[in-house]
Structures are given as C-alpha cells and as structure tokens.
Structure 1
Amino acid sequence: MKKDSERRILLGRVTGAFGVRGELKLESWTEPRLAIFNYQPWILRSPSGQESQITGVRGREAGKTLVATFPGVDDRNMVEAMRGTEIHIPRSALPPPRPDEYYWVDLEGLDVQTVGGVKLGRASHLFNTGANDVLVVRGDRERMVPFVMEDFVKSVDFDANLIVVDWDPEF
C-alpha cells in the first residue's frame, strides 16, 4: 500500500464539452459535487495515461451538469480531446476525517475478519445503496457487508490493518 502522501484519490472525470468556448462538463464524486473545486491542484490523467497538473480551475452547476473552466483551454476541440480525463488529488490533500468517520479509500485493502476470528478476505471497495454503505470483501468469495458501525462493523484498526465485523462467514 502506498503511503498516504503518495496515494491518489479519483474525484471525477471530464465527460465532454459544454458550449463552444472551451467549457468542460465534469462528473464529480465529491459530496457535495461542487466541492471538487476545493481540492486543487488536480492531477489530470488522460485516457492514454499522460499526466499533468492544473490549478485555477473554476466551476459552476448548470442544471444537472457540472461545468468547469480550465486555464488555457478555450475551444471545443481542446475539450473534446480531454474527454475521459480523470481528475485525481493526493490523499494528503484531504482533511482528516472526524472521529469514527472514514474515507472509503483508507478502508480499501484492510483485512476483514469476523468477531470470532474467521478471516473473510480484504476490503475491495465500498458503495452506497441509498439506505447504507456496503463493504465489499474479497477472499475465498465475495461478500457484501453493510458498513453500519456497531451493528455489523465492530472496529476499524488502521495500525493492525484490520476491520472486525459481526458477520456470518457462511453468508
């Protein structure tokens, strides 16, 4: 696992052009979605794998779309060439989480075991169902454990690289 300062967080991606003056449509995975503009500079990774850094990006909401202006990008052709570009930041750019709160990316890769000591595998990723977050654990098979503290998730110990869950290993 990379050190926090080296790890990158994927915040969003360029999805296309907005108008003809070089504005870009973005998909943002921050909450709220406009918060993506608070985490600059960005590391841009093109679909071909080329990386660059950018700062000074401005943005706004336009209906259901997030619209951005990148310095030096001023026409639609430049924007179309950027379609699919991912927006990353270093993990170290995120503020520390509050007590008993976690960034999903920090949980990924931790070992997961039951309160009885049965190893279930490793935390692959999390997703939200609308009702609650779900921890996807990959081991001998894939398990989906509701990430509900106290009910199913009993502890998260970064020093031990371990999440302890109250979960039937047969389920």
Structure 2
Amino acid sequence: MIIIGKIGNPYGILGWIHIHSYTEKKENIFYYFPWKLEKLNIYIHKKNIIRYKKHTNHFLVKIDNLHNRTQAHSIANQNILMKSTKLPKLQKHEYYWNNILLCKIFNVKKEIIGLVKQILDNKVYNILKIFNFKKNKNIYVPFIQPNIIKKIDIQNKIIIINWNLCE
C-alpha cells in the first residue's frame, strides 16, 4: 500500500471534506480506487464519491453516508492508501515519488549527505527536500538528471548526487 493523498478537515456542515492529492496530476487521485483510510481500515470506492470539486490547491469531496460535519470529522486527517499494483508500469528512468522518499543521498565521493524527506514540484522541475545530517537542517536539491542526480538505486534506496553543483 502507498499513500496517494490525505483527507483533511470537514468543510461546511453538510458532510463535505477536504482531500489533498499527492499524485503528480492532482485530479488523478480520482482514478485510483479503492482508497483505504490508514487508521480506520475503511475502504472508499468510486461509487462512494458523490461529487468533488477543485478548491484552491486541493479538492472538496462529498462522500455518501457523510451527511454532516460530525460524520465527516470521523474520517478526518487520514492518509489515503492504495495498492501499488494498481499504478501504471514505468519506463526506464521514471520513478514514483514514494520510491524516492526516504532514499539516502550520497555525493559522488560516497559521503552521506542525508535523507529525502519530501519532493516538491515547482512546475519546472522537482526538488528534493533532504535532511542534511552534518548541518542538521533541510537542504533543497533540484531533481535534474544527469547533471545533478547521477544515479538512482531504488532497490537499495540510494541516490548519488553531484554535490559540487548543489553547495
């Protein structure tokens, strides 16, 4: 199971809820069903989604059987999971973000830099948010292959970067 989004807080009094999508194209979250709510072990199927609409940088969703704010609050703040086997197969040098997260980052001299904590999309290229062990703070590295990202080993959760370009 992988995390594809998160249910936020209720919206209004009629059972609507905020949905934050972690998919590359935000609306694609509505193509991956069933959703499993992590802590509650509840499944939401496509037929359970009555309506959804874009709201700033996320969605507002009306789910059947949620008729008021209290009912919507009962599923709030849950990660939305799906089976990774439902994802399309990737081509060479393509990666799902969940495979990149928590990879250890090394420079070309094989010195450990840190750990990938988040991937940010700035519309031009993705940026790795890395917790740097030596500096005890986050650093940001453009996810540009092959100039900065030299090697990705998903099996061993290791990424080699050309650190000289990033310091």
Shared topology, TM-score over 0.5? yes
1:111 and 2:101 matched: no
Percent pairwise identity: 19
In structure 2, what is the Cα distance between the partners aligned to 1:135 and 1:127? 6
In structure 1, what is the Cα distance between the partners aligned to 2:117 and 2:88? 23
**Secondary structure at the residue paired with 1:168?**
helix
Q: 1:39 to 1:18 in 2, by over 3 A?
A: farther
1:57 and 2:53 matched: no
Q: With the length of structure 2 as denominator, give the TM-score of the two structures.
A: 0.76
In structure 1, what is the Cα distance between the partners aligned to 2:154 and 2:3? 18
Structure 1 unaligned runs (5+)? 1-6
In structure 2, what is the Cα distance between the partners aligned to 1:69 and 1:23? 5
- 1:42 positional shift: 0.9
Partner of 2:80: 87
Number of matched residues?
161
Structure 2 unaligned runs (5+)? none
Moved more, 106-115 or 88-97: 88-97
- 1:114 positional shift: 1.7
In structure 2, what is the Cα distance between the partners aligned to 1:66 and 1:158? 31
Give me the CA root mean square deviation.
2.8
The answer to whether the 8 A contact 2:5-2:29 is kept is yes
Q: With the length of structure 1 as denominator, give the TM-score of the two structures.
A: 0.75
1:12 and 2:6 matched: yes
